[in-house]
Structure 1
């Protein structure tokens, strides 16, 4: 599949690995892919994110991702659904942090693994890469560009999609800016 990636898409994947390494994360996540897309310049995804105002709100996007990580990956949509069942996520997070320290739910456990020379992609980020292939095929494109990675992030359920949508990068908005598809 990677042979179909454009240079822009390859740069995003490499950038995501760099974000994971700087964060000392055990794996590359969908969040790292989004951060790398926000770093991109001169590509279709960079254009779309700038046009939608997501780039200018980067610090708010980063803060929203950090807050979701602090809540153990529970998105605002998940929190609202749980509230409908009488579950107060904020209270749960507070109690866990009282007992185990601030950010306890956001900490990832690192498995002992042999050094392989690269940082693995987690299940969600692998799913984004696979989804980007489906998006490219669905749009009739022969290669996978960074715009396909952005569309895959915007369509796959989860925190990254929720944060993107909250800051103007919903799937429909990205499709509208990129045209067609």
Structure 2
């Protein structure tokens, strides 16, 4: 399947590994794919993300906040709030007792240690699903090759904190699909 990726999409997949290495985690996950897409050369995916107000720094900040909360997104925090649970207060108390990023370290558990020093990182199940789904996105749009826009479309369909974070910026599958269709028509 990798042979069907455009040059830019291949570079993004490879750079996702660099993000995992930089963050000292053992596996390449969906957020790393998003960060790599944002760092790609001027592509349709990058233009759509930037037009929505996203930047690498902003995404890193948002994803670190999610990581700090043990992987819980803003949507999760809102759901807990409705139950009378203040997630930020819980995180603060846990960090007072156990140190900064205690929930993140617990949630990542064994993923950190085993491969943290090595250069090669395997993909998480979620990241693999994104790459597989990007092929379906390309096929649905009638494209032969898989580009960064197809990976981005697949990222927003993968349930989890990354898609939730993108949704808060108005980036969802329907919006992206419409924007890509409009760009192709013009």
TM-score, normalised with respect to structure 2:
0.85
Equivalent-residue separation in structure 2 for 1:41 and 1:51 (angstroms): 15
8 A contact 2:135–2:146 mirrored in 1: yes
Equivalent-residue separation in structure 1 for 2:120 and 2:60 (angstroms): 24
Equivalent-residue separation in structure 2 for 1:76 and 1:37 (angstroms): 22
1:70-106 Cα deviation digits (max 9, x unpaired): 0011011112122223333223322321221011111
Equivalent-residue separation in structure 1 for 2:165 and 2:73 (angstroms): 8
Following superposition, the deviation at residue 54 of structure 1 comes to: 2.3
Alignment of 1:42-53 (within 5 A): 42-53=42-53
Q: Secondary structure at the match of 2:84?
A: coil
Q: What stretches of structure 1 of length at least 5 have no aligned partner?
A: none
Runs of 4 or more above 6 Å deviation:
none
Aligned-residue Cα RMSD (Å) equals 2.3
Question: Which one of 126, 129, 132 corresponds to residue 131 of structure 2?
Answer: 129
1:46-73 Cα deviation digits (max 9, x unpaired): 2222333324xx4332211110110011
TM-score, normalised with respect to structure 1:
0.87
Equivalent-residue separation in structure 2 for 1:26 and 1:112 (angstroms): 7
Following superposition, the deviation at residue 19 of structure 1 comes to: 0.9
Say if 2:96 is the partner of 1:98: yes
Say if 2:20 is the partner of 1:23: no
Equivalent-residue separation in structure 2 for 1:3 and 1:69 (angstroms): 33
1:119 corresponds to: 121
Say if 2:160 is the partner of 1:158: yes
Size of the aligned set, in residue pairs, is: 179
2:69 corresponds to: 71
